[in-house]
Amino acid sequence: MPKLGVNIDHVATVRQARRTVEPDPVWAAALAELGGADGITVHLREDRRHIQDRDVRLLKETVQVKLNLEMSITEEIVDFALEILPEQCTLVPESREEITTEGGLDLLKNRDRVQKCVDRLLEAGIEVSLFIDPEIQQIAAADALNVHGVELHTGCYAEAKNVEDISRELERLLIAGDDALDRNLLLHMGHGLTYRNVEPVAEIPGVSELNIGHSIISRSMFIGIEQAVREMKALVSHTPDFSLE
Ligand code: PXP
């Protein structure tokens, strides 16, 4: 059974919409742990559009499960990771124009840059995973970099619209996953997974970690919105059944 890494970036997205103090992703991490999260994942982007340095520092102090830092292959971010020392770093491609991570890292094009980052992180004792597309050449390239594991990009699977495309994309994940396991790489998967599409991926043999963010944060809004309105309504209408004191 895979472990669940909960990505809390989008709690910080809501906070950054107002540049205020709430909602605090550090609180979200604690609640995710209470809900059974096996890991907390955050992506410290170069443009700091959601998660901030302060968040990662506090999460390192407070998270009791695995802290997985998603990060680009830039010197500044690697320096920061080496200061924080999260249990795991997942290297991802990053461009400022994208809304979210668009594809996997191309290890054939970026081998030397990735190698440099990987070596520094491994030397510090951090577990390193590479976010790649489910392609055999990428897995072979990851293996050659001596990392602990790979996270296969499930975006194409998540976006597939009909039964044929869905089963073709699932098959790609299965084949690539088998190859990663044959090479003794840890097998993680993530991106675009939802309450509706996660089960077949969770059943892929050998997958040890799923990282899921947007769908969980989206659902949590709807699960909590009624109670939040009820409490504000009580304050507005001076009804005695709710008070912050
Ligand atoms: N894994 C990686 C490497 C990611 O970049 C992301 C998005 O930040 C996720 C998993 C989670 O994706 P989603 O938010 O679509 O669940």
Q: DSSP letters along 99-155, please?
A: SS--S---TTTSHHHHHHHHHHHHHTT-EEEEEE-S-HHHHHHHHHTT-SEEEEE-H
Tokens linked to 142:
């990851």
Residue by residue, DSSP assigns 20-40 as: SS-S-HHHHHHHHHHTT-SEE
Q: Give the active site residues.
A: 43, 70, 191
Mutate to test the pocket of ligand 1, among 9, 70, 105 (most ligand atoms within 8 A of CB): 70
- CA 211 remoteness from chain centre: 5
pLDDT score at 98: 72
131 and 92 in contact (C-beta within 8 Å)?
yes
| Cα distance between residue 227 and residue 15, in whole Å | 20
Pick the closest to residue 110 from 141, 81, 135, 146 (CA basis): 141
Question: How wide is the angle at C-alpha 37 spanned by C-alphas 35 and 42, nearest 5°?
Answer: 120
Domains of the chain and CATH, by start: 3-236 (3.20.20.70)
Tokens linked to 23:
């909602």
Q: Whose CA is nearest to atom 15 of ligand 1?
A: 192
C-alpha of residue 29 to centroid of ligand 1, in Å: 16
Q: What are residue 71's DSSP bridge partners?
A: 91
Atom of ligand 1 nearest to the CA of 7: 11
Tokens linked to 183:
């090479």
User: Is residue 151 lining ligand 1, measured as CB closer than 6 Å?
Assistant: yes
Q: Whose CA is nearest to atom 4 of ligand 1?
A: 191
Q: Is the sign of the CA dihedral 178, 180, 184, 190 positive or negative?
A: negative
Run means of pLDDT, 10 residues per run, the chain, 245 residues: 97 97 98 98 96 98 98 97 98 80 91 97 98 98 98 98 98 98 98 98 98 98 94 86 73
User: Is residue 60 lining ligand 1, measured as CB closer than 6 Å?
Assistant: no
Q: Looking up tokens 């969980």, which residue turns up?
A: 216
| Cα distance between residue 9 and residue 239, in whole Å | 35
pLDDT score at 143: 98
pLDDT score at 94: 86
pLDDT score at 234: 87
Evaluate the omega torsion of the peptide bond into residue 205 and state whether it is cis, within 30 degrees of 0: no
C-alpha of residue 241 to centroid of ligand 1, in Å: 40
| Cα distance between residue 142 and residue 108, in whole Å | 9
pTM of the shown model: 0.95
Exposed/middle/buried for residue 61 (C-beta within 10 Å: 0-12, 13-18, 19+)? exposed
User: Is residue 217 lining ligand 1, measured as CB closer than 6 Å?
Assistant: no
| Cα distance between residue 189 and residue 133, in whole Å | 10
